[in-house]
Amino acid sequence: MEKSKGLELKIDGMHCAGCAAGIEKGLAKLPGVIHAGVNFAMATASIEYEPGVVSEEVISAKISELGYSAKKAVPLELSDDRELSMVRRDFLTALAFTVPIMFLSMSGMFLEHPLFGRLAGGIILLVLTLPVMFYAGRGIFSDAWNQTRHFRANMNSLIALGSLAAFLYSTYAVLTLAGLGETAVSHFYFESAAMIITLILLGRFLETRARGRARDAISALLKLRPEKAIAVVDGAESEIMVSAVKPGMVIAVKPGERIAADGKIVEGETAIDESMLTGESMPVEKTVGDTVIGGSVNGNSAFRFEVTGVGEESFLAEIVRLVSEAQGRKAPVQRLADKIAGVFVPIVLLIAAVTFVIWYLIDPNSPMLFKAPVAVLIIACPCALGLATPTAILAGTGRAAQHGIYIRGGDILERTVKTDYVVFDKTGTLTIGEFDVPVIKALDEDYETELLQLAATVESGSSHPLAGAIRRKAEELRIGVKTPKNLTEYPGFGLKADVDGRSVLVGNVATMVKEKVDTTQYDKAADEQMALGRTVVYVATNGRALGFLALADKVKDEAGEVIDKVRRTGRDVLMLTGDNHKTAKGVADQLGIERFEAGIKPDQKAVIVETLRRADRNVMMVGDGINDAPALAAADIGVALGSGTDVAVESADIILVRDNLSSLVEALEISSLTFKTIKQNLFWAFFYNITAIPLAAGVFYTMFGVGLSPIIAAGAMAFSSLFVVTNSLRLLKSKQA
């Protein structure tokens, strides 16, 4: 069977969560569509489909058939302001006509003026209302008609029905007044029809502008791309467009310039400001061999670099994809809200019909006979409900991106809040991951050089961080490395090889025990080193221990504070390491970690994580994103630390671009604050509809004379949506995050 494919589309024409739900339902019916998710706030659709069964063209055609337009989303394309401009124009047009309509209606001057009378006043109001309804509000009525054709209803259906009812009733009044004179009904509701449309357009304009601000995280990243670069060809420099930059080219960067692409420095030293990409506030020192990220800003020194990644393959493109994916993925709580919004409109139509019937039976002459059903239709629009979750996710993930924290989606945010167990890898996560060799212990000092030479020779075939440290120590002391033969690797940490006719074994105490090498004469000295958190590596020849090397890996400066803050959130902490128990305890004591597991192999980390999950714990695994990939994938939430291209670790749910544990605390705070905002938004949206519908229906009118006019209902509905969006935008500025 052919592998499924993913498709990202930009959707035009959506006006509420009901629109998004309708598209999802329509696409789900297509054979070959495995999953379809539509994000109203981002105006995007993420579709997984089987290419052999359905094509992209068929999917786009289905969306068009449903009354919307779709085009393929371009990840590295800046969003334009056309939508905002159109909504602003429609609102200003409606406002220009609604102001005189309201003034004339409230003054009653035409209805009472001896020269014009009621009929002339009604005709003038009718003429002024036409452009508001059918020019400024054309999008509302067009979409409502599309929904009706497909036997669906959404927010625009309610608005169109309510405002059209007011307009048609008033038009009927004008026509009957022209034919019957004083005996006709002379009260008009043109001001209600016009004001409903105008207030809805105002809300839509403010909402569109606010949603644009929530998407600024992506726009800000895209604007980091410079337009030109200086290429070095045969030693000569020439200016070219960035679009012409290819991998392998050498690019010259002057002081203060923005770097055109990803690459490695081949000449020069500098300090680079990567804050917009990684959240790192201080410039990062770079020298030959170090990586540079396209979009970052050079300091005061010129340098040259070889291009390794451009366009879709660049770090910046990967970040944009990550943020886009995050803002398009729904939290479970949002799926619930979407389901409710999808069935809300038909229920509201039923309530409006019942309201009309009840008022007709109670008092056919009551002003509530007309006002109440229209007010119900207007105020019950589920727009706030549809915006409650996605706008908070937009703002929360945008805030995180500003800090160099990339959260892959709303579902990740929600699961992060629920984690109650945080598991840390030790090497490279709680420690720097760069070892040195402060102690070489042999029976006699004269044997120390030989011990290091043998260890470096055997380790010359290993990529393990400890092996690298041993080789660097030999280079530092200018000790030559020989060629090993018959190299054998032991699981955990151990290597065996023949060197100058001798069998040399290098490894931890477990390796020595397995090979029956006696190390008791070194136990006391080794214990002292392990109590300091150092790793002990023994060297033996022909079954006899020559001594050991103590390798030190410095604990990160921020690690202790981060562990303390995580614990204060009520979460349990566990450290996993491949080191022996004594070394692990030394590090754990430094950091105040009470629980740790030592002697753990990489594949065993995933087993431990799975065991915790089976015990009904929600587990977050924090690791370097490479060696810990199985454990990251096994956890409820995988958090990868790393800079540069390491950000693209596929197994991680949260990526901390800065190699700094403090970002983990920020990620937890942002997740908590975002989910708190979602709950506030949903409470407001539900509370608003639950309390407003009875008021609009006139439940309290007979008892207290309290009702709700369609105009106030329209204003309240617009305010509800605006409140939800504005509340979400606080996340972008919140000091707590």
The 10s digit of each residue's pLDDT in 691-705 is: 788 888 887 776 767
Contact 315, 276 (CB under 8 A): no
Positive or negative, the CA dihedral 438, 440, 445, 446 is negative
Q: Which two tokens stand for residue 567?
A: 């614990």
CA gyration radius for the chain? 34
Residues 29-51: pLDDT tens digits? Answer: 889 888 888 877 667 888 888 88
**The pLDDT of residue 655:** 84
210-214, 606-610, 725-729: the lowest-pLDDT one = 210-214
* Residue 505 confidence (pLDDT) above 90: yes
Confidence of residue 253 (pLDDT cuts 50, 70, 90): very high
Structure confidence at residue 92 (pLDDT): 93
pLDDT in tens, 138-175: 988 888 887 777 777 666 777 787 788 778 878 887 88
- Within 380-447, residue ranges assigned H as helices are 383-402, 410-418
Close Cβ partners of 363 (under 8 Å, ≥ 6 residues apart):
369
| Active site (catalytic) residues | 425
Of the chain, the end-to-end C-alpha distance in Å amounts to: 46
Rounded mean pLDDT of the chain? 80
Of residues 165 and 470, more confidently modeled: 470
- The pLDDT assigned to 17 comes to 63
Residue 213: the pLDDT is 59
Q: How far apart are CA 58 and CA 66, in angstroms?
A: 12
Domains and CATH numbers, the chain: 5-72 (3.30.70.100), 226-309 (2.70.150.10), 402-421+556-668 (3.40.50.1000), 436-552 (3.40.1110.10)
CA distance linking residue 49 with residue 35, whole number of Å:
7
Strand partners, 236: 233
191 pLDDT more than 50: yes
pLDDT at 41: 64
**Model confidence pLDDT, tens digit, residues 205-239:** 876 776 665 555 556 666 677 888 999 988 888 98
What is the predicted pLDDT for the residue at 492?
60
Q: Which two tokens stand for residue 152?
A: 């669906």
The 10s digit of each residue's pLDDT in 43-92 is: 788 888 888 888 888 898 888 888 788 887 665 454 556 777 888 899 99
Bigger pLDDT: 147 vs 656: 656
β-pair type (535-541, 544-552): antiparallel
pLDDT of residue 96: 94
Which pLDDT score, from 0 to 100, does residue 568 have?
A: 93
If one counts every other C-beta atom within 10 angstroms of the C-beta of residue 100, the result is 13
Choose the weakest-confidence range: 550-559, 584-593, 685-694.
Answer: 685-694
Of 591, 569, 553, which Cα lies nearest the Cα of 422?
A: 569
Beta bridge partners of 422: 573, 620
pLDDT of residue 90: 92
pLDDT value for 216: 58
Q: What is the pLDDT of residues 313-339, one digit of tens each?
A: 777 777 666 666 655 555 566 666 666
Residue 677 has pLDDT above 80, yes or no: yes
Mean pLDDT of 585-603: 85
Model pLDDT, residue 314: 77
Higher-confidence position of 360 and 211: 360
Sign of dihedral through CA atoms 539, 541, 543, 547? negative
pLDDT at 115: 44
Q: Give pLDDT, residue 621.
A: 92
Average pLDDT score over residue span 552-579? 89
Mean pLDDT within 286-293 = 87
What was the pLDDT predicted at 148? 79
The region, left, alpha or beta by phi > 0 then psi within -120 to 50, assigned to residue 203 is alpha
Specify the pLDDT at position 97: 95
| Across 180-198, average pLDDT | 68
- CB atoms near residue 112 (< 10 Å): 11
Cα–Cα distances (Å) from 634 to 407, 423, 639, in that order, read: 17, 12, 11
Segment 391-427, tens digit of pLDDT: 788 788 878 877 878 887 777 888 899 999 999 988 7
Strand partners, 377: none
For residue 735, what pLDDT is reported? 52
pLDDT band at 645 (very low <50, low <70, confident <90, very high): very low
- Which range, 274-283, 380-389, 481-490, 500-509, has the best average confidence (pLDDT)? 500-509
pLDDT at 630: 76
- pLDDT of 494 > 60? The answer is yes
- Over pLDDT 90: what percentage of the chain? 16
pLDDT of res. 81: 64
Contact 644, 656 (CB under 8 A): no
Predicted confidence (pLDDT) at residue 661 exceeds the cutoff of 90: no
Cβ-proximal residues to 49 (8 Å cutoff; 6+ apart), any chain = 4, 5, 7, 30, 32, 33, 34, 59
